[in-house]
C-alpha cells in the first residue's frame, strides 16, 4: 500500500494490531515519505530511523506473541527539539546546543514509549521556542506544506508542518504563547495547549516556566484523545503537575448535541482580524447556533494590556532560564582555557540568535533594579486580573470562541525584521497562557489563495473534554482530517 501516510494514527495502529500490515513495513514506508517530503518542508532536525525500526520489530513481536500492546502501538510520533529524548540531540534549533545529546527521556517521552509509540525524530522550531514563524531557527525556516513560500507559524512549526504534510500522524510541541496553536492554524491541523499542570514539563528545555505546556498536534480528534490521555497526569519530577484523574474520550455526536454548550464569542478579537478570517469564523458561529448552542458576544476587558504583559513575563523568565547556557555543561567546541570568566560567557553566548539575544536583553532590563516594579511586578498584577476575568466568564460559558491568529500566513522573510508585528500575531493565543487555561486551534477552512485559516476555543481549567467534544462536532461536519496539501 503506497498511501499509508494518509492514514491517521488510530487507523494504522488498528491495522498493525490486526496484522493487516506489520509495524516494520509501515515505518519503512513512513521513512520513505519523510525522506521524500522533508527536503521541501524542512520540519525535521534529526531522525531516529535505526532505533525506530528496531522498536517497530519489537511491536510486531509483541503482536505475534499475543502480548498486550499500548494504545499508540506502531504509531510514529515526532518531537519538538526542545523536549529531551535519551540518546538524541536536543538542539532547541540553536547553535548554542548544536552538539548536546540528552542523557534522559522527558516524562512525556517515557509515557509514549510505555504505550509502544515510535519516536521517529526531532522537529525544527524557532530557537528556544522564541518566535511565531519558525524562521528563527539555525537550521533554516520550516516551510508551510500548503505553500512552500510561506511560513509555517511557530514556534512549533516543525511539529505542525510534519503532521500537515503527512510525514507523521502525531507530533508533540510546546506552547508558551501560542506555539502549538499558531502553527496548527497556519498548517490546518489540530493543536491543543492543555491546562497548565496537566502535562509534565520535566525534560522540556525551559523558556518561560509559568506559561508553557507540552501538547499534541494531530489531523483528527481520533488521534488527539489517545495521545492526550497518554501524556497527561501528575509527575513526581514536575511539582506543577496536578493530581487530577483526567481521562478523555470521544463522545457520540448525539450526546454532544444534547449538551447544548454555552459559547461566549470574543467579538472584538474576531473583528480585529483580517476579513477572510472573521468571515469564516462567523460561519462556524452560525453552525453552533444551528445545533442549539447558546451563543453570546462577550469580551475580556483587559485584553488590550495582555500582549505587553505576556512579553514582559516571558522575557523576564527567558533571561533567567537561558543564563544556564554557559558552554561549560552544554554547548559547542570553544575551549575556555585562557579566558576570563565574564568575557568567556559573553563570547560563547553570542552564538544565540538575534531574537533570543533581544529577549534576554529585554528580560534582564525588566528585572533590573529600578524597573522591576514598573514592568515585571505590574505585569504579574495584570496577569492576575486577566485570570480573574476568565474565572468570571467561565461561570457563564462552557467555552469561548476566538481566532487563533488574527492574520493569514505570510511569505518567508516578510516580517522577520519587524519584532512588534510578529508579537501582535500572538494577541489571541497568549490569553490561554497567561491564565493557564486549555485552548485548541481547529482548522476552519482556506482563504481565496488556498492559505489555511484556524479558529480557537478556550475552556475552563481541566475542561479539555468540552474542547474535544466541539472538535468532534466540527470534524464530523467539515471532515477537515481529509484536507491534505498536494505534497
Partner 1 sequence: MSTVDDIKKLCNLSRLEIPDTEIENTSNKIKEILTFFDKIDELKIDDKKTFEKYEKLEKALDELREDTLNKDITKSDKKHFKFLYEKNGYIIGPRI
Q: Catalytic residue among 15, 80, 111, 122, which? A: 80
Cell triple for 315:
522575557
Specify the residue, 276 or 463, whose C-beta has the smaller distance to partner 1. 463
What is the contact surface with partner 1 in residues (CB under 8 A)? Answer: 86-87, 101-104, 196-197, 236, 239-240, 242, 302, 304-305, 307-309, 311-312, 319, 323, 326-329, 331, 333, 335-347, 349-350, 352, 357-358, 360-362, 364-366, 368, 374-375, 378-379, 381-382, 384-385, 387-388, 391, 419-420, 423, 436, 461
Distance in angstroms (rounded) separating the CA atoms of residues 480 and 487: 17
Specify the residue, 57 or 387, whose C-beta has the smaller distance to partner 1. 387
Specify the residue, 148 or 385, whose C-beta has the smaller distance to partner 1. 385
Burial of 463 (0-12, 13-18, 19+ CB in 10 A): middle
- Tell me whether residue 368 is one of the annotated catalytic residues: no
Q: In the complex, what is the shortest distance from the CB of residue 390 to partner 1, in angstroms, rounded to a whole number?
A: 11
Distance in angstroms (rounded) separating the CA atoms of residues 322 and 350: 12
Distance in angstroms (rounded) separating the CA atoms of residues 183 and 126: 11
Specify the residue, 124 or 213, whose C-beta has the smaller distance to partner 1. 213
Closest CA to 310 of 394, 171, 435: 435
Q: Catalytic residue among 137, 152, 179, 185, which? A: 179
- Tell me whether residue 259 is one of the annotated catalytic residues: no
Q: In the complex, what is the shortest distance from the CB of residue 302 to partner 1, in angstroms, rounded to a whole number?
A: 7
DSSP characters for 381-432? HHHHHHHHHHHHHTTT-SEEEEES-SS---BTTSSTT-HHHHHHTTTTTHHH
Contact 233, 246 (CB under 8 A): yes
Q: In the complex, what is the shortest distance from the CB of residue 347 to partner 1, in angstroms, rounded to a whole number?
A: 6
313: left (phi over 0), alpha (psi -120 to 50) or beta: alpha
Instruction: Return all residues near 51 (Cβ < 8 A) that are at least 6 apart.
Output: 87, 119
Distance in angstroms (rounded) separating the CA atoms of residues 359 and 364: 8
Q: In the complex, what is the shortest distance from the CB of residue 408 to partner 1, in angstroms, rounded to a whole number?
A: 23
Q: In the complex, what is the shortest distance from the CB of residue 214 to partner 1, in angstroms, rounded to a whole number?
A: 16
- Tell me whether residue 14 is one of the annotated catalytic residues: no
Specify the residue, 214 or 307, whose C-beta has the smaller distance to partner 1. 307
Specify the residue, 42 or 327, whose C-beta has the smaller distance to partner 1. 327
Q: In the complex, what is the shortest distance from the CB of residue 332 to partner 1, in angstroms, rounded to a whole number?
A: 8
- Main-chain phi, psi angles of 191, to 5 degrees: -135, 125
Q: Which long-range contacts (CB under 8 A, 24 or more apart) does 18-26 make?
A: 19/63, 19/64, 22/56, 22/60, 23/56, 23/57, 23/59, 23/60, 23/63, 23/73, 23/74, 23/118, 24/53, 24/56, 24/57, 24/60, 26/56, 26/74
Kindly list the catalytic residues: 80, 155, 179
Amino acid at each position: 500500500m503506497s498511501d499509508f501516510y494518509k492514514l491517521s494514527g488510530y487507523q494504522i495502529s488498528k491495522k498493525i494490531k490486526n496484522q493487516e500490515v506489520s509495524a516494520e513495513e509501515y515505518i519503512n514506508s513512513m521513512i520513505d515519505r519523510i525522506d521524500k517530503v522533508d527536503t521541501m518542508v524542512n520540519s525535521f532536525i534529526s531522525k531516529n530511523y535505526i532505533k525506530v525500526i528496531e522498536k517497530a520489530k519489537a511491536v510486531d513481536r509483541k503482536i505475534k506473541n499475543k502480548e498486550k500492546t499500548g494504545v499508540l502501538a506502531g504509531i510514529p510520533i515526532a518531537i519538538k527539539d526542545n523536549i529531551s529524548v535519551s540518546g538524541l540531540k536536543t538542539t532547541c534549533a540553536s547553535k548554542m546546543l548544536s552538539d548536546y545529546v540528552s542523557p534522559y527521556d522527558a516524562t512525556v517521552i517515557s509515557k509514549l514509549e510505555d504505550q509502544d509509540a515510535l519516536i521517529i525524530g526531532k522537529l525544527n522550531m524557532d530557537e528556544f521556542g522564541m518566535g511565531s514563524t519558525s524562521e528563527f531557527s539555525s537550521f533554516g525556516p520550516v516551510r508551510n506544506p500548503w505553500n512552500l513560500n510561506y511560513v509555517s507559524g511557530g514556534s512549533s512549526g516543525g511539529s505542525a508542518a510534519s503532521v500537515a504534510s503527512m510525514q507523521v500522524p502525531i507530533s508533540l510541541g510546546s506552547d508558551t504563547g501560542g506555539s502549538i496553536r499558531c502553527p496548527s492554524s497556519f498548517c490546518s491541523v489540530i493543536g491543543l495547549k492543555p491546562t497548565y499542570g496537566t502535562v509534565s514539563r520535566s525534560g522540556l528545555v525551559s523558556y518561560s516556566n509559568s506559561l508553557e505546556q507540552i501538547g499534541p498536534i494531530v489531523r483528527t480528534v481520533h488521534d488527539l484523545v489517545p495521545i492526550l490521555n497518554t501524556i497527561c497526569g501528575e509527575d513526581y519530577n514536575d511539582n506543577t503537575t496536578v493530581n487530577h484523574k483526567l481521562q478523555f474520550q470521544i463522545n457520540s455526536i448525539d450526546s454532544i448535541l444534547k449538551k447544548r454548550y454555552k459559547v461566549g464569542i470574543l467579538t472584538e478579537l474576531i473583528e480585529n482580524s483580517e476579513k477572510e478570517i472573521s468571515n469564516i469564523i462567523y460561519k462556524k458561529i452560525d453552525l453552533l447556533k444551528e445545533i442549539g448552542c447558546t451563543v453570546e458576544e462577550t469580551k475580556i476587558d483587559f485584553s488590550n494590556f495582555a500582549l505587553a504583559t505576556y512579553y514582559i513575563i516571558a522575557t523576564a523568565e527567558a533571561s533567567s532560564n537561558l543564563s544556564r547556557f554557559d558552554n561549560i555543561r552544554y554547548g559547542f567546541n570553544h575551549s575556555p582555557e585562557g579566558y576570563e570568566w565574564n568575557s568567556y560567557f559573553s563570547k560563547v553566548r553570542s552564538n544565540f540568535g538575534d531574537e533570543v539575544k533581544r529577549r534576554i536583553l529585554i528580560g534582564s532590563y525588566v528585572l533590573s533594579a529600578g524597573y522591576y516594579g514598573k514592568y515585571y511586578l505590574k505585569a504579574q498584577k495584570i496577569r492576575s486580573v486577566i485570570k480573574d476575568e476568565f474565572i468570571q466568564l467561565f461561570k457563564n460559558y462552557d467555552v469561548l470562541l476566538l481566532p487563533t491568529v488574527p492574520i493569514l500566513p505570510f511569505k518567508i522573510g516578510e516580517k522577520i525584521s519587524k519584532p512588534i508585528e510578529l508579537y501582535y500575531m500572538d494577541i489571541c493565543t497568549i490569553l490561554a497562557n497567561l491564565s493557564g487555561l486549555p485552548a485548541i486551534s481547529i482548522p476552519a477552512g482556506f482563504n481565496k489563495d488556498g492559505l489555511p485559516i484556524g479558529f480557537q476555543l478556550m475552556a475552563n481549567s481541566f475542561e479539555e473534554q468540552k474542547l474535544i467534544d466541539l472538535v468532534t462536532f466540527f470534524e464530523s461536519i467539515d471532515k477537515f482530517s481529509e484536507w491534505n496539501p498536494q505534497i
